[in-house]
Amino acid sequence: MLMKYLFAKNDEIPAGSATIFFGFSSIFWFVVGTGLGSFNAAKLAFPDWVTGTELFAFGHMRQVHVLAVIVGWISMAFGMTMMYMTPALGNTRLWSEKLGLWTVFLWNVGLSLGLILLWMGITSGREYSDLIWPIDLVVIFGVLVPLGINVWMTIAHRKTQGIYITNWFFGACIFMVTITILVGQSPEIFNLTGLTEAYLTFWHAHNLLGLWITPVAAGIAYYTIPKLTGNPLYSHRIGHLHFWAIIAFYSTPASHHLMSAPLPEWLKSFASVEGVLILIPAVAFVANILLTMKGKWSLFVENLETKFSITGVLLAIPLNMQGGFQQTRAINWYVHGTGWIVAHAHLALLGMSSFLEAAAVYFGLQQMLRRKLYSLTLGNLHYWFFIIGFCIYWISMTIAGLIQGAGKIYEVPYIDVVVAEHPYMIARWVGGTMVFTGNVVWLYNMWMTAREGTLVPEGRYPHELAYER
Amino acid sequence: MAFRQHKLGAAGVGLMLGFSMMITLFGPSNDFRSGVSTWVGLDKQLSLGRLIGFSYEDPTVSGEGKPITVILDKDPKTGAAIDPPVRAYVYKAGTKFSPGINHNELLGPGVEELSTGIGKIGSASMSSGAVFTVSKGEFNGEEVDYIENTTATRGWTPDAALRTAGDENTRYVGKGKTIYITEGCWWCHTLLPEQTQDWQAFGAPPFLGDFNGEMPTAFGSDRKAPDILHVAARNSSREWMTMHFFNPRLVQPNSIMPRFNYLWGRTDINGNPIDIKAWSKEYDEYLAGNRIYPPEVPEPARDSEVRALIDWVLTSLK
């Protein structure tokens, strides 16, 4: 069906097609990514499980898990939300449905190719920029630029006076992530070496999170919560504070990832201070969304999408409290390189961000398919597997990280740290497997929604209808 | 619609992002440029070559087209004894030079002058190959290490250097670091002892000039295993490394490191086929208590990936 639309006239493609293909792709990659995560965790707990081949070696699969989740699930969910939120907020149609479909097509092809190469060990050897630079050029010119053109043109052709905060984030973040990837890949293309390469690797890694994943996820919440609750956003001014503080503060602290490398000390100190200032946009965001919920807190329990969304916002509180302070010299020396950081990264990507996107994908797919969710029971099952699995993962890895940090400063022989961490490695595997199981349920539920969900009448929202199953 | 909000906003975003990029990209570039290559830095870039990871010369990232490190105890040209033995970096004809040879400014002040002057690196040619060493010299009253193009200064040719060294003194360092990257060793091990308590257990943290010309640096960020920047200084046994790579539980029962037995390839050093399944079965019998000793670990073939990996560990991580 995708092939048919790729070569159809733009006007003949039904509105929402790009959203739907993006949505199902993102859920598919979420299943793949978390499945790989669960497999990797099993290998850390039981190293003698599946050996003798490089195909299932931990070192060949770890980066595939990370990029399948970031580029496949999270970023494609972003693409999906941009395809339906941007036109809805501009009271117009998507600028080009056809371009959107080409974007999702190239995205899936490029990502599959890149991940297969990574799996085979064809890598640049730079964390988060593991994909070789020809694939990165596909990411920039085949994915981000078309996505950007679609979003920017839709915003420019809007039929409203102002631009809502969500579209500010969408428009700016696509531009900033393109710059980030261009600069981040320059060491590979121009063979920049040494500390320049090391610094740019983490400049890219930090800005990928700070200028893409966190702010776009927040922008999504600015749409879903007012939409689902019917309340207007608590304050647009606080929203603007959030937006400009992200641009000003989140684009600078890259070197706090390399606090123990021989980088210039002024740069580390600057990054550390800017890192604490990230709390300004963080607090603005959380306060704004939670205050928007005023009078509608019952929906946190009753409405599935709100439940996902608010869980993500609540997880942003520990996320930013950790993120703001763990990078200062006073704390970083203790937790750097330990499981604490792994727990923090999963709190950001699997916790805060993924819950916000899951809510938007649930809502957007029902809205664009014009069908009510197939089963609330399966939806709730997904939620509880997701949150319980995540909490098991997060808590066990945080404890493992603190053990590792203590082992580091008290100079415990490393093997004793490995022994002490073993139970938490098993817990991590159990938690990750629960998240994976929940996602399989989600994919089934969404597939059945597309086929058998109750039709939503014109002029109504899916969340206004009663569930039939 | 006279007031176009998105135009003002776009200008604002561009201005602020540009300002932050000025600080975070342009700012530190001066500091990086002033880094003077140390011996470690020169040794690294000469033994690793142009770059590790995906490149034109090595698109499958299998360690093709990398320089070879040799330990010479005899002069390859005259045959005179060299004591103590010297480490030389052999670039066969066609092997891409390390970044500092073509872009001398990467070597840092002092090293650049000596390498291009008495080191004669300017006359090295990629098409006919060259042999480099790191020599000690004096610049403005201070001792600096510089690169010497021995093909020009002493008439050492790549072939003669390889022949003189023989297999026992040849180290496939460039290929070894490539295996370190492709096998993802750096997802668990780090190459960056921290500046806090860490250095007492894992050795001194690296210096500013230790990285000039290295790509990728692969510090690693997530430590699930010991830092290995100085691992060969703690344990320099090739036998231990061989057993540990084949199955880490042979020498460290509580290790969670994967078995890297697939890096042996199909045959061992004597051409006998390696049967990993049969080995694992015998090992399981050993674990069950039905054997007194674990099965023998095959000796790696000369061109095997694990040979190169162990060469890199024992030569570079000191």
- What is the pLDDT at residue B30? 85
Q: How far is CA B153 from the centre of its chain?
A: 26
Task: For residues B61 and B148, state if they share a domain.
Answer: yes
Mean pLDDT (chain B, rounded): 94
Q: Which of residues 172-191 of B touch A (CB under 8 A)?
A: 181-188, 190
Tell me if B166 is assigned to some domain. yes
Task: Examine residue A462 and say whether the peptide bond preceding it is cis (omega within 30 degrees of 0).
Answer: no
Question: Residue A377 CB: number of other CB atoms within 10 A?
Answer: 12
Does residue B251 share a domain with residue B167?
Answer: no
How many domains, chain A? 1
In this structure, is residue B13 part of a structural domain?
no
Question: Is B212 a domain residue?
Answer: yes
What pLDDT was estimated at residue B1? 46
**Complex ipTM, two decimals?**
0.94
The Cα B181–Cα B53 span in angstroms is 7
**Could you tell me if residue A318 is inside a domain?**
yes
pLDDT tens string B10-28: 899 999 999 999 999 999 9
Sign of the CA dihedral with A88 first, then A141, A205, and B31 last? negative
Closest residue on chain A to B227 (Cα) = A414
Summarised one tens digit per residue, pLDDT across range B103-112 is 999 999 999 9
Q: For residue B33, tell me if it sits in a domain.
A: no
Contact residues on chain A for B258, CB-CB shorter than 8 A: 43, 47, 51, 57-59
Average pLDDT over residues B91-119: 95
Minimum-distance CB partner of A52 among B183, B201, B261: B261
Does A93 reach chain B within 8 Å, measured CB to CB? no
- Report if residue A465 sits inside a domain: no
Cα pseudo-dihedral B223, B224, B228, B231, rounded to 10 = 150
What is the nearest CA distance from B263 to chain A, expressed in angstroms? 8
Asked if B191 contacts B229 with a C-beta cutoff of 8 angstroms, the reply is: yes
CB B199 within 8 A of CB B234: no
Q: Is residue B218 a part of any domain in this protein? A: yes
Q: What is the spatial distance between Cα A10 and Cα A275, in angstroms, rounded to a whole number?
A: 45
- Do B162 and B54 fall into the same domain? yes
8 Å CB contact of B106 and A192: no
Are residues B161 and B201 both part of a single domain? no
Distance CA A342, CA A344 (A): 5
Is B2 inside a domain boundary? no
Domain holding B276: CATH number? 1.10.760.10
- Tally of residues, chain A: 469
Tell whether B191 and B217 lie within a shared domain.
Answer: yes
Within 152-191 of A, beta carbons closer than 8 Å to B belong to: 155-156, 161-163, 168, 171-172, 175-176, 179, 183, 187-188, 191
| Model pLDDT, residue A3 | 82
Q: 3-state DSSP call for residue B142?
A: strand
Q: What is the pLDDT along chain A (469 residues), one digit of tens a residue?
A: 788 889 989 889 999 999 999 999 999 999 999 999 999 999 999 999 888 888 899 999 999 999 999 999 999 999 999 999 999 999 999 999 999 999 999 999 999 999 999 999 999 999 999 999 999 999 999 999 999 999 999 999 999 988 999 999 999 999 999 999 999 999 999 999 999 999 999 999 999 999 999 999 999 999 999 999 999 999 999 999 999 999 999 999 999 999 989 999 999 999 999 999 999 999 999 999 999 999 999 999 999 999 999 999 999 999 999 999 999 999 999 999 999 999 999 999 999 999 999 999 999 999 999 999 999 999 999 999 999 999 999 999 999 999 999 998 888 999 999 999 999 999 999 999 999 999 999 999 999 999 999 999 999 999 999 888 7
Residues of B in contact with A122 (CB under 8 A): 54, 59-61, 182
Task: Give CA–CA dist A107/A224, Å, rounded.
Answer: 25
Confidence of residue B6 (pLDDT cuts 50, 70, 90): confident
β-strands B142-149, B68-74 pairing: unpaired
Cβ-in-10-Å burial (0-12, 13-18, 19+) of A359 comes to buried
Is the peptide bond prior to B216 cis by the omega test (within 30 degrees of 0)?
Answer: yes
Residues B150 and B257 in one domain: no
Return the H-helix or E-strand segment holding B84. strand B81-91
B293 shares a domain with B210: yes
Residue A108's domain comprises: 2-456
Q: Does the CB of B254 have a partner CB in chain A at under 8 Å?
A: yes
- Please report, for the domain that includes residue A145, its CATH number: 1.20.210.10
- Residue A204's Cβ-count burial label (10 Å; 0-12, 13-18, 19+) is buried
Closest residue to A341, CB basis, from B184, B213, B222: B222
**Which sign does the torsion angle of CA A382, A387, A388, A390 carry?**
positive
Question: Within this chain, do residues B155 and B213 fall inside the same structural domain, yes or no?
Answer: no
What whole-number distance in Å separates Cα of residue B185 and Cα of residue A311? 36
Buried b (16+ CB within 10 A) or exposed e, A32-55: bbbbbbbbbbbbbbebbeebeebe
Whether A158 is in a domain gets the answer yes
For chain B, say whether A263 makes contact (Cβ under 8 Å).
Answer: yes
**Residue ranges making up the domain that contains B48:** 39-171
Nearest chain B Cα distance for residue A45, angstroms: 7
* Element of type H or E holding A148: helix A145-156
Q: Are B143 and B134 in contact (CB under 8 A)?
A: no
Contact A323, A278 (CB under 8 A): yes
Residues B167 and B277 in one domain: no
Cβ(A97)–Cβ(A10) below 8 Å: yes
Bridge-based pairing of strands B68-74 and B130-139 is: unpaired
**If 0-12 CB within 10 Å is exposed, 13-18 middle and 19+ buried, where does residue B288 land?**
exposed
> What is the number of helices (H) and of strands (E) in chain A?
20, 0
> Is residue A464 in some structural domain?
no
Q: Is residue A466 part of a domain?
A: no
List the single residue in A172, A194, A414 with the smallest CB-CB distance to B13.
A172
B160 plus B116 within the same structural domain: yes
Residue B3's pLDDT band, with cuts at 50, 70 and 90, is low
- Residue ranges of alpha helices (H) inside A191-328 are 194-208, 214-229, 236-249, 265-277, 279-292, 298-302, 304-326
The C-alpha angle A317, A321, A324, rounded to 5 degrees, equals: 135
Q: Report how many domains make up chain B.
A: 2
What are phi and psi for residue B137, nearest 5 degrees?
-145, -175
Give the integer Cα–Cα distance in Å for A120 and A59.
10
B90 is a domain residue: yes
8 Å CB contact between A466 and A425 = no
Q: Which of B133, B148, B171 is the last residue of a domain?
A: B171
Instruction: Decide if B283 is inside a domain.
Output: yes
pLDDT at B7: 82
CB contact at 8 A, A184 and A204: yes
Residues of B in contact with A418 (CB under 8 A): 225, 254-256
Q: Does residue A469 belong to any structural domain of this protein?
A: no
**Distance between CA A382 and CA A13 in Å, rounded?**
32
- CB proximity B7 to A under 8 Å: no
